[in-house]
Amino acid sequence: MARFTRVQVNQSTWEFPDIYEIVRPMGEGSFGQVARMRLLGGQMDDVAMKKLVQPFEREEDAKGAYREIRLLKHMDHRNVISLLHVFHPPLQGNDFQQVYLVTQLMDENLHRFSRSNRISQYQIRYILYQILRGLRYIHSAGVLHRDLKPGNIAINQNMEVRILDFGLARLSSKNMSDYVGTVWYRAPELLFLRDQYTNAIDMWSVGCILAELISGHVLFPGDCYFNQLERLLDIMGSPSEEFISGINMKHSRNYLEKYGYREKRHFPQMFPNADPLALDLMEEMLEMLPENRITADEAINHPFLRDFIEPHHRDEDLAPAYDQNFENMVLPVNCWKELISHEIQNFRPPPFYAEALERSYMQQ
């Protein structure tokens, strides 16, 4: 049985197997606390360990913790963050209150990377290709990320990219909240409350990210909801009648009628130094009509990115369907806790990490 050690991390008590040692804290927020950890004797790269903050305070928190574990367990792709290890400390009175998740460690997010480095044309293409591969995998599972932005895309110094943070991810369905995603990267069908939305919302976000990689600036930096609408319309122009006809909310239709006509701006003028192929792909991502917007699979095959395609990528980007029936369940905290305990007990680390864990335990 694994022995556990206690360490103070930013005035919080952490309890984890003594085969790990903490390198340094990395950050914290409402989602949890994260630290860089080292697996002793495992001859492994450092990993990221996250302690969930008060996962059982409310039913919503417990369900969210269960959702995060389920999604991370499901993901198995080089461009998507996945679960390496999950555990809870020894029970106290037949109960547990803490949950820890171990994932791949990334150097920084794409926002910081793009602001602190001069990104070459090749790097833009390579980063974008990896984002789209990860997204093609996520979408193939039937999952919408719903919050793609530079801060939720991690990158290493070797240019390895992984999509992070599935806190808002859901299976595509007919009943989903429109108030999702960071407003700067939110698709027009969400902003104008237009019918039901699809995984096309993620592709709009990728188009915004591409524009940001090219220019170094946020494309639609609204400082509030209505300012976001204004910034979008000032660049993308007035929506077509086809787009407007899909808006069921009267106040959204009234807003567009009162706003007045706007011409769409020309991307070559906005991005004079950009590769024309990059702008062509961006145009297809930033298509106002979601049904006409390019998919992740189509974008990967665009001439701007085609050079990176390898024959095995398509098979690697195909994920098994994700079962999300639990989303309709309303349960008390103790029931969610039992489900989480079951997921932890039945988790099997990836083979390479399972071997590293075994070596570490044997050396203790």
Helices (DSSP H) in 197-249: which residue ranges?
A: 200-215, 225-236, 241-245
Q: Using alpha carbons, select from 353, 309, 281, 324 the residue that is nearest to residue 19.
A: 353
Point out which residues pair with 12 in neighbouring strands.
9
Residue 6: what are its φ and ψ, rounded to 5°? -110, 135
Give residue 67's identity as a one-letter amino acid code: R
Helices (DSSP H) in the chain: which residue ranges?
A: 59-74, 110-116, 121-140, 188-191, 200-215, 225-236, 241-245, 250-259, 267-270, 276-285, 296-300, 313-316, 333-345, 351-362
| Whole-number Å distance between alpha carbons of 356 and 346 | 18
- Residue 147 annotated in active site: yes
| Whole-number Å distance between alpha carbons of 35 and 334 | 28
Residue 54: what are its φ and ψ, rounded to 5°? 45, 60
Residue 130: what are its φ and ψ, rounded to 5°? -70, -40
Residue 298: count of CB within 10 angstroms of its CB: 15
**Residue 205 and residue 187 in contact, taking contact as beta carbons nearer than 8 Å:** yes
| Whole-number Å distance between alpha carbons of 89 and 96 | 7
Catalytic pick among 45, 61, 147, 307:
147
Q: Using alpha carbons, select from 323, 291, 295 the residue that is nearest to residue 143.
A: 323
CA-based torsion, 300, 155, 55, 197: positive or negative:
negative
| Whole-number Å distance between alpha carbons of 302 and 294 | 10
Could you write out the DSSP letters of every residue in 245-307?
Answer: HTB--HHHHHHHHHH---PPPPHHHHSTTS-HHHHHHHHHHT-SSGGGSPPHHHHHTSTTTGG
Pairing of strands 143-144, 170-171: antiparallel
Instruction: Give the catalytic positions in this structure.
Output: 147
